[in-house]
Amino acid sequence: MAGFVLTQHACGTGETTDAAGATAAPSSSSLSVTSPAEATTTSASKPTRTSRTPDAPGGGSSGNGPILRGERQVVIRPTQEAEGILALDAQGRLNLTDGPSNFTLFVFVPVRDGLHQIRTAKAGAGGEPSCLGIRDNGSNPLTVVAAACDTRRQGQLFRIRKAPEAATDGYGISNQGAYLQISAERGLIAEKLSDAPLRTVYTFVDNGSAPAQPGS
């Protein structure tokens, strides 16, 4: 496995519904994520490469650097978390982890109008990468789950922007105005800024060239 092997916190998910109403199933069988029992036998490792943001040297100052061109595979690290990074858990939900997991490396794939899909760098059991997508949970907060990649689904199109609320190298990740934020009670959720302040910003830890086809 390329990248890190890190643990996950399991959270149940059902069928994924994006903001446009399309559905996709975040199947743990297609992801082959390490189970909690298996994770106990794997020693955790931490990101050790230098953080490279979209505006890193060689990428220019426009934010259209190698990471946002889909040329690099990265670990997504919340700046306020000393140890934790984002990973897909056994049920295919994106959450914070500080231990072993099979899916901790992601590729930002440009789609259109400054929007990106966030694909797993590693393929699942079906041989294809998964894409992160917004899941509508009714009266409960929006969550982010793995789904079959489809650029027609608005729930899979994310915007990455420099976060003025943060120190250098802090970026906000949003989908249609709902930002990915860490909640102590609910884990990683997506919230509209009209409902809450932007309290979670991210840096991207470069882990080398992205696969020719993310997930391959």
- Mean pLDDT of successive 10-residue stretches along the chain, which has 216 residues: 36 40 42 38 39 39 75 94 90 92 95 96 90 97 97 97 72 95 94 83 95 65
Would you state the pLDDT for residue 31?
56
pLDDT at 3: 39
What pLDDT score was predicted for residue 158? 98
DSSP state of 186: T
User: Would you say residue 7 lies in a domain?
Assistant: no
| Within a domain: 2 | no
Domain limits for position 151:
16-43+51-207
Exposed, middle or buried, 148 (CB in 10 Å: 0-12/13-18/19+)? buried
Structural domains counted in the chain: 1
Length of the chain: 216
CATH number of 148's domain:
2.80.10.50
**Residue 89, domain member (yes or no):** yes
Q: What is the pLDDT of residue 46?
A: 44
Residue 160 covered by a domain: yes
Give the pLDDT score at 100: 82
pLDDT recorded at residue 162 = 86
Give Cα 207 distance to the centre of its chain: 14
Residue 180 included in any domain: yes
Gyration radius of the chain's alpha carbons: 16
CB under 8 A, 24+ apart: contacts of 208-211:
208/2, 208/49, 208/72, 208/73, 209/71, 209/72, 209/73, 210/70, 210/71, 210/72, 210/73, 210/107, 210/121, 211/73, 211/107, 211/121
